[in-house]
């Protein structure tokens, strides 16, 4: 059934980066089933082909192009492709993301470059390329995938934390600027907790220039801990629930989109510590808490990830 609710955009189109799997795919699917034409940019070509076929089988009008969001030329080509295939988009979801980390003094510089290139520069490129078209038509909605890691500083996740803090403040800044300009364009910051995506395996698409072969050979050093983390993610939220939440948030013109309540007290504690000029605490550590508690699915909302 075509959607006839509150989103009275002049066109029914959505662009999703990182849209061939995980949260991005779920967002595209939800909007597509609601009558939007979906245009996907994703670095993983086979996943892109498979997703477009799945959407077609479900009656969703969709198109896509292999896109490396970290690369300016690739994003320019994707922007041109979007213009030729669907015209100015109504909704833009800047969702592509990867994860890497380790102790701050030990994180390889190539991992820093990779995470910031995808998570941060992917959003920078996206806003730079798609915002002008939305401003020209004076309508639309931009969704930036941040994370609870944009609100909390988890040990062992320096590059990821930094990238998500950055994109969160970018989204907030853009939101305020548009409000000051009396623009009809809305902005949302998706701040997922744990979702069943392939982010733990995001290195599968790492460009050769970001790889360090010596480090890759030692990546199974902490296998027991890795297995626990993988089990934790396997019991996390379904991306389809996140897709529903994003759709509802766009309809409601809602800025912050939190996918679960597990981290709410940790965020509140951080704010109280800042207000009192107290030192940071370890109480908001995502991975340690999840491993200690095994983050049972019943602790999470039934509707409501990381990219």
pLDDT grade for 301, boundaries at 50, 70 and 90: very low
> Which tops the pLDDT comparison, 10 or 5?
10
pLDDT of 181 higher than 80: yes
pLDDT tens track for 201-240: 454 555 555 455 434 434 444 444 455 455 455 556 889 9
CA–CA separation, 36 and 269 (whole Å): 40
pLDDT tens track for 103-136: 999 999 999 999 999 999 999 999 999 999 999 9
pLDDT value at residue 285: 52
Mean pLDDT across 124-153 = 96
Query: Which segments of the chain does DSSP mark as H helices, in order?
Result: 22-33, 45-57, 72-85, 109-115, 121-137, 158-180, 213-216, 223-234, 239-252, 264-275, 286-293
**Residue 119 has which token pair?**
């998570």
Taking each helix axis from N to C terminus, what angle separates 223-234 and 286-293, rounded to the nearest 10 degrees? 80
Place of tokens 């990219």: 307
pLDDT of 243 higher than 70: yes
Domains and CATH numbers, the chain: 13-299 (3.40.50.720)
pTM (2 decimals)? Answer: 0.83
Q: Are 36 and 42 in contact (CB under 8 A)?
A: no
**Residue 40 has which token pair?**
């996907």
pLDDT tens track for 48-105: 999 999 999 999 999 999 999 999 999 999 999 999 999 999 999 999 999 888 899 9
pLDDT value at residue 53: 98
Tell the burial category of 247 from Cβ atoms under 10 Å away from its Cβ (0-12, 13-18, 19+): buried
């Amino acid at each position: 059934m075509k959607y006839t609710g509150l989103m009275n955009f002049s066109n029914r189109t959505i662009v999703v980066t990182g849209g061939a799997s995980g949260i991005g795919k779920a967002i595209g699917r939800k909007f597509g089933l609601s009558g939007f034409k979906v245009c996907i940019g994703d670095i993983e070509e086979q996943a892109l082909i498979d997703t477009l076929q799945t959407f077609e089988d479900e009656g969703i009008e969709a198109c896509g192009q292999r896109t490396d969001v970290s690369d300016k030329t690739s994003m320019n080509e994707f922007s041109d492709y979007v213009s030729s295939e669907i015209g100015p988009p109504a909704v833009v979801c800047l969702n592509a993301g990867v994860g890497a980390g380790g102790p701050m003094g030990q994180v390889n510089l190539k991992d820093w470059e990779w995470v910031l290139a995808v998570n941060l520069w992917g959003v920078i490129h996206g806003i730079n390329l798609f915002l002008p078209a939305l401003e020209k038509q004076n309508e639309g909605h931009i969704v930036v995938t941040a994370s609870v890691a944009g609100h909390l500083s988890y040990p062992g996740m320096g590059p990821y934390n930094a990238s998500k803090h950055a994109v969160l403040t970018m989204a907030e800044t853009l939101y305020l600027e548009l409000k000051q300009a009396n623009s009809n364009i809305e902005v949302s910051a998706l701040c997922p907790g744990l979702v069943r995506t392939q982010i733990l395996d995001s290195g599968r698409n790492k460009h050769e220039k970001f790889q360090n072969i010596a480090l890759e050979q030692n990546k199974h050093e902490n296998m027991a801990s890795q297995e626990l983390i993988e089990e934790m993610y396997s019991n996390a939220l379904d991306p389809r629930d996140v897709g529903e939440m994003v759709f509802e948030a766009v309809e409601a013109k809602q800025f912050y989109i939190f996918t679960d309540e597990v981290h709410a007290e940790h965020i509140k504690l951080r704010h109280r510590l800042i207000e009192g000029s107290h030192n940071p605490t370890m109480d908001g550590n995502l991975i340690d808490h999840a491993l200690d508690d095994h983050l049972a699915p019943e602790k999470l909302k039934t509707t409501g990830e990381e990219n």
